[in-house]
Amino acid sequence: MNINEKVAYIKGLMDGLKLNENDDMVKLVKKVVDVLEDMADDIEDLGELYDELSEQVDEIDQDLSLVEDDLYDEDDDDFDDFDEDSEYYEVVCPTCGDEICVSEDILIEGSIECPNCGEELEFDFSSLCADDIDCPEGDDGDCDSCSAEDCPVKNDSEE
């Protein structure tokens, strides 16, 4: 039995009692039952609105889930090439001021294009002591015996 049915039952009991309509107490009780009837109607309307909103929220949740899947799948693809074992360094582009994270391999290559403005960023290791650079061949900075083609110290000194 829902709330509207309960209020209708109470109203039917009152009508069946054949109360004196002129009595002030009967008038008061009838007004209270009328208010209860109005409240029951409003509660039923709110329940229907709640059901509609609940369905809409479920639809929005499903749509958001699809957007999250697309967004996070896309982000996951960006990090597939990320090597956790490599060291990364922050480089600031002198033209646009953008901070770029580059791997040690890119630094050894000697240059990279700024992804923000397209400026060619060059890395010069000529002022560094050979002892400060990890040799790709493991020769510990002895460039005379180094056979690495991508040795930054050796390549800078040949220019």
- Residue among 98, 105, 100 nearest 148 (CA): 105
pLDDT at 74: 59
Model confidence over 88-110: pLDDT tens digits?
Answer: 888 888 889 888 888 888 888 88
pLDDT at 20: 87
Q: What angle do CA 21, 23, 25 make, to 5 degrees?
A: 110
What are the two backbone dihedrals, phi and then psi, of residue 88, each rounded to the nearest 5 degrees? -120, 145
pLDDT in tens, the chain (159 residues): 889 999 999 999 988 888 888 999 999 999 999 999 999 999 999 999 999 999 999 999 999 999 998 888 755 545 555 556 678 888 888 889 888 888 888 888 888 888 889 889 888 766 655 555 556 555 555 555 555 565 555 554 444
Q: How far is CA 97 from the centre of its chain?
A: 27
Question: Cβ contacts of residue 133 below 8 Å, gap of 6+?
Answer: 125, 141, 152, 153
pTM of the model: 0.40
